[in-house]
Structure 1
């Protein structure tokens, strides 16, 4: 008799909850497809509008997980679960996690600021926190840099957004500073003319802005000459090396 009672109870539960489970499953599978479709469509639209890839992926992930969270709450509500208490628990958990991850949230906010205001882009050569290198990837919590000696450096975005950044690639031209030292036996005018002649013959040096050659400093034993020339950003190191090499015969200590 008891077994029959349990069996009837189970049948009643199945008949009562079957429609709810069917609707919940329909919403779940339809929602999974719809969230993926919306996310892909949003990414395609941002790509067509030439939105930076880092920002596209970031916004795509936010859209995706926001829709999935809404879908989860909708599904469990269809199963008869009280969602108001669940949302309260979720909010409390989020607050606790937020307090324990303040540093990570600072880096997260810094990543958003970098993506939105673009103080540098992937491929730029930057100098920050005592490190100089090429930006390989802008992540949400950190930025990946490759140094000139092929080392990988990760800088937290919180430091980047609040600190000093020197971007060597943002402008198309760059000034090359060259210093040459001679002794007091040298003919000052002759040295200046020879430096200017070497500079004027170099094909990668720009005519504008104008080149400057001048005496920068006097010490007890030497005269310091300086040259300020302009070139394309990509040729900076080559121009500096070439001019120094061609001026080596002028150096007298």
Structure 2
């Protein structure tokens, strides 16, 4: 016990110095983390104030936060006596090994860069990508956050999005509603087309240009199929789609136009026994 006390008295200055360095490193890391959050939030507000796309703002803020945090960690390690130059070399070698092990994450990061550069979609767009259909909320370093029409939050890896086809339903201001209406062969075709034209023309959401198309598409097995293709603003697409189907059914019922359904006639033959 006496030896430990004597050892402490001889080296208390060195121990105190190490303790102070450790405390300083912890303080540097804590303050640096707060600064990283503050700068990230300030940058986010500033860019949003300049009407920069929300998805791009989120991506840039995430990168800035990560860079400041890495710099803070290096400063804290330097404070406790770690040679940062050697540490950076070791970190680079370790980063290479980790990079090889985490190729998927690096692919997601690279895909995030591509999304930001080429802008196939922006925050608020309704898209179909990576097997998910929904509204883009944010684009982050490794993933894109989307909200589905039934208000589910889906996190999609960026590589999964850029690795396949991207359908952006909000990219163009107008869209064409494609409907196929089938009527029976016994129904009056001219009358059916007039009814469909009237339904389309009475809907104020249907655009006068480009002109709507109503034409016979096919003489199918059990029905005469008619293409109904009005043009609408993208925001009105589903409203016009659902309302038109309902109006067609109700009006056809009132006007005696029948809509056939698949059916099969079975004929049973009996052998006559003499």
- Asked if these proteins are the same fold (TM beyond 0.5), I'd say yes
Is the deviation greater in 109-118 or in 67-76?
A: 67-76
- Which runs of 5 or more structure 2 residues have no equivalent in the other structure? 261-274
RMSD: 3.5
Is the deviation greater in 168-177 or in 40-49?
A: 40-49
Residue 246 of structure 1, CA deviation: 2.3
CA deviation map 1:109-143 (0-9, x unaligned): 22232234332233322223443233344333233
CA contact (8 A) 1:142 1:157 kept: yes
**What TM-score do you get using the length of structure 1 for normalisation?**
0.79
* Structure 2 CA distance for aligned equivalents of residues 104 and 170 of structure 1: 28
Matched residue count: 251
**What TM-score do you get using the length of structure 2 for normalisation?**
0.73
CA contact (8 A) 2:55 2:137 kept: no
Give secondary structure in 2 for the equivalent of 1:121. Answer: coil
Partner of 1:203: 204
CA contact (8 A) 1:28 1:71 kept: yes
CA contact (8 A) 1:145 1:152 kept: yes
Residue 244 of structure 1, CA deviation: 2.0
CA deviation map 1:24-47 (0-9, x unaligned): 77x948973766665555444433
Structure-2 change in CA distance of 1:130 and 1:251 (3 Å): farther
Structure-2 change in CA distance of 1:31 and 1:251 (3 Å): same
1:176 and 2:169 are equivalent in the alignment: no
* Structure 2 CA distance for aligned equivalents of residues 72 and 131 of structure 1: 37
Is the deviation greater in 42-51 or in 229-238?
A: 42-51
Give secondary structure in 1 for the equivalent of 2:230. Answer: strand
* Structure 2 CA distance for aligned equivalents of residues 127 and 49 of structure 1: 28
Partner of 1:121: 122
1:64-213 to 2 correspondences below 5 Å:
64-74=65-75, 76-77=77-78, 80-213=81-214
* Structure 1 CA distance for aligned equivalents of residues 65 and 138 of structure 2: 22
Residue 180 of structure 1, CA deviation: 1.4
Give secondary structure in 1 for the equivalent of 2:200. Answer: helix
- Which runs of 5 or more structure 1 residues have no equivalent in the other structure? none
CA contact (8 A) 1:180 1:251 kept: no
Is the deviation greater in 34-43 or in 66-75?
A: 34-43
* Structure 2 CA distance for aligned equivalents of residues 29 and 188 of structure 1: 77
Partner of 2:234: 233
* Structure 2 CA distance for aligned equivalents of residues 203 and 125 of structure 1: 24
